[in-house]
Amino acid sequence: MDGADQLQAWRGAGAAIPCFPRLSLPAPSPLSRVGLIVNDGKALALATAATIEARLEAAGMEVVRVSSAGGVVGFANPDQHLRAKGYTACVPASFDASMPLALVLGGDGTVLSAARQTAPIGVPILTINTGHLGFLAEAYLKDLEGVLDQVIAGDWTVEERSMLVVSVMRGEQRRWEVLCLNEMALHREPLTSMCHFEIAIGRHAPVDIAADGVILSSPTGSTAYALSAGGPVITPDCPVLQLTPIAAHSLASRALVFSDREPVTVFPATPERLMMVVDGSAGCYVWPEDRVLVRRSEHPVRFVRLADHEFFQVLRNKLGWGLPHVAKPGNVQELS
């Protein structure tokens, strides 16, 4: 049984997907109905969407276009009771699991939204950067014609990356829940003092952290907020989570990497309300009587890959990782 058949067998049996090395799944064929997720607040993304629609429709495909705004959860009003719709509420009504892929036009924020829209139904996403950094982008506008040729020919594979489920609980009541690709950050409000957190990781003894906040991130999120807070870079195929304190009041409080089979519970041990931000675009207030649960989702995000995805090369190109401090004769041309 190959990797794709094994993955399908696990899903068909309703079992949780176990940890395994990254799979390169073959593209389904033929393509007849594809999704298109667009950041419709950007003129460049809108213009590119029209080009893509015309090209794919000329090839006999039906293009189902939606806005990436559907994956933006937003921030809850602290004066209102939080009613959780569940993270499947972000899935567009016109999308279904039979779609072979969805193209995504925007920057990294758009990709985070698109992950919430597609992961619950297992639709792979092909990310085309029309934003700035494009750390999560697979393709760029200068290569658009060739990208569309590969899409039409089915010349692509799929890489799966883990996502997190973040829930706010009060007693047995689930007050808020969201699907998360990068990280959950729980921190103090402005003009308030340092916070205390009691954190239980799976079966292990709870730990106490005094800090401005804490970050729980996936391997994908290790190059986002957690990196700025001093956490390590984790390759995307590692089955782990990362806990990173923000401005910890202890020399012993450092980032911790642990198995993603371990669910995490964060208890705010502070009298003031805290702010929780998920993937930089969703969140709510967390009160002293609440607790935050974070676990690996059974729904991974599925990224379309047009070529072999070399993570260290992405780090080098986007973040300057591994570049020599002094150019050597053999790599002067490469760095220019």
Active-site residues: which are they?
108
35 within 8 A of 151, measured Cβ to Cβ = no
**Cα(76)–Cα(54) distance, integer angstroms:** 39
- Write phi, then psi, for 117 (nearest 5 degrees): -80, -25
List beta partners, residue 303: 125, 159
**Cα(183)–Cα(90) distance, integer angstroms:** 18
User: How far is C-alpha 4 from the chain's CA centre?
Assistant: 22
Q: Under the phi-then-psi rule, with left for phi > 0, alpha for psi from -120 to 50, and beta for the rest, what region is 154?
A: left
**Cα(114)–Cα(260) distance, integer angstroms:** 23
**Cα(273)–Cα(295) distance, integer angstroms:** 23
169 within 8 A of 265, measured Cβ to Cβ = no
